[in-house]
Amino acid sequence: MLAELRRIDLALLLAILILVALGVEMVFSASFVVAHNEFGDGTYFLIRHLLWISLGFVGLTVTASIDYRRLPAFALPLYGLSLGLLFLVLIPGLGQVTYGSARWLNFGPLSFQPSEITKVALVIYLASWLARVGDTVNNLTRGVIPFALILLITAGLVLLEPNLGTAVVLTATAASTFFVAGVSVIHTIVAALFGAGGLAVLMMLIHTAAGAGYWAQRIEAFLDPWMYAEGIGWQTTQTLIALGSGGITGLGLGEGRQKYYYVPNAHTDSIFAIVGEEIGFIGTVLVLLLFLFIAWRGLSIAARAPDLLGRLLAAGLTSLVVWQALLNMAVISNTVPYTGVPLPFVSYGGSSMVINLCAVGVLLSVSRRARGQPGG
């Protein structure tokens, strides 16, 4: 047992545990007011968050114990299931509409986002397919065009919800995995342009059909949020106020003011703003450094993987977590236009927490068989 434990990347696991522990504290602080006022129990979200974390670590344990070389047998069924669920969420009456987007499916008391499953399913499918294609990945018809079509179909279905943030994460993750497979820079650019062009056309069609300027309003709020501070710029300005109010060391845990119905979704997509308000610049830098550390450890595992499949899985899953984290932090700091994505391991959200921890389990499975020592 101890020998097995030594073979996994304990430094990576420790970084994940720190983020999860920080998330527990911040979810409780950010959700207490809403939970007390709307559910009569200040611990309403905290209890559910802890339950999802427990389930997520069960998933992590299971996926870490499975030999990652068995995953290709499940890659196509899992990917097909994820696409089917994405279709279901678009059917009126089946998909739960929240803030104008149909992202959730309900099965009795269980509610989850199919797009979260799709993230990991896409990485596993791409890694399995690219490992099988091998050196012919640079071939236009065997590698570049099929990859672009896979990306266009997957990200396109997510974009139809509409869920631009997850579509961006999927695109960045897929492109990273494709590049690690040994594809030339030119072919990577060609595939990215092909997929991005198709997504751009789809975005314009959605924009025309919506007729309400869904993305145009977000661009306007991004360019000058203070001009629209009472309307479409409300969320951006309030998150910036939260970040600015924290200063260097923050107002103190539980002492933040923006969670009092100023910052929407304070315990989910906007939790990084509450981190900045209550723990300050030190807290936000700590979170950023932890994700950069995860990127380093994950890519180190990929570099030491014994085969192409392991290298692609490690690089793809690391990219998935890190791109999502960077996008969340960029949105909260108004570095990019607003789009809702949770902060991995920190934000409240059952689907995201469980899937991300399962992804870490696969990463640890690769690390168990990596060449050299985990700390190397």
The pLDDT assigned to 232 comes to 80
For residues 165 and 178, what is the distance between their CA atoms, to the nearest angstrom?
20
Helices 350-368 & 44-65 angle (0-180, nearest 10):
30
Residues of the chain with pLDDT under 50: 1-3, 211-212, 374-376
Spatial separation of the C-alpha atoms in residues 230 and 300, rounded to whole Å: 46
| Contact (CB, 8 A) for 350 and 107 | no
Q: With b meaning 16 or more CB within 10 Å and e meaning fewer, what string describes 126-145?
A: bbbbbbebeeebbeeeebbe
Q: Give residue 19's pLDDT.
A: 98
CA distances from 51 to 54, 170, 203, 348 (A): 5, 27, 37, 11
Residue position matching structure tokens 């209890």: 47
At residue 211, the pLDDT reads 47
What is the C-alpha to C-alpha distance for residues 113 and 105, in angstroms, rounded to an integer? 6
How open is the CA angle 361-366-369, to the nearest 5 degrees? 130
Q: Please report the pLDDT score of residue 207 as a whole number.
A: 56
Contact 352, 116 (CB under 8 A): yes
- Backbone phi, psi, residue 218, to 5°: -70, -35
Nearest to 27 by CA among 2, 10, 44, 12: 44
d(CA 362, CA 59): 10
Of the chain, the percentage scoring pLDDT greater than 70 comes to: 85
d(CA 264, CA 259): 8
Burial 59-81 (b: 16+ CB within 10 A, else e): bbeebbeeebbebbeebeebbee
pLDDT for position 361: 96
pLDDT at position 376: 43
Q: How far is CA 50 from the centre of its chain?
A: 19
d(CA 282, CA 247): 9
Task: Determine the pLDDT at residue 1.
Answer: 43
Secondary structure of the chain as H, E, C letters: CHHHHHHCCHHHHHHHHHHHHHHHHHHHHHHHHHHHHHHCCCCHHHHHHHHHHHHHHHHHHHHHHCCHHHCHHHHHHHHHHHHHHHHHHCCCCCEEEECCEEEEEEECCEEECHHHHHHHHHHHHHHHHHHHHHHHHHCHHHHHHHHHHHHHHHHHHHHCCCCHHHHHHHHHHHHHHHHHCCCCHHHHHHHHHHHHHHHHHHHHHHHHHHCCCHHHHHHHHHHCHHHHCCCCCHHHHHHHHHHHHHCCCCCCCCCCCCCCCCCCCCCCCCHHHHHHHHHHHHHHHHHHHHHHHHHHHHHHHHHHCCCHHHHHHHHHHHHHHHHHHHHHHHHHCCCCCCCCCCCCCCCCCHHHHHHHHHHHHHHHHHHHCCCCCCCC
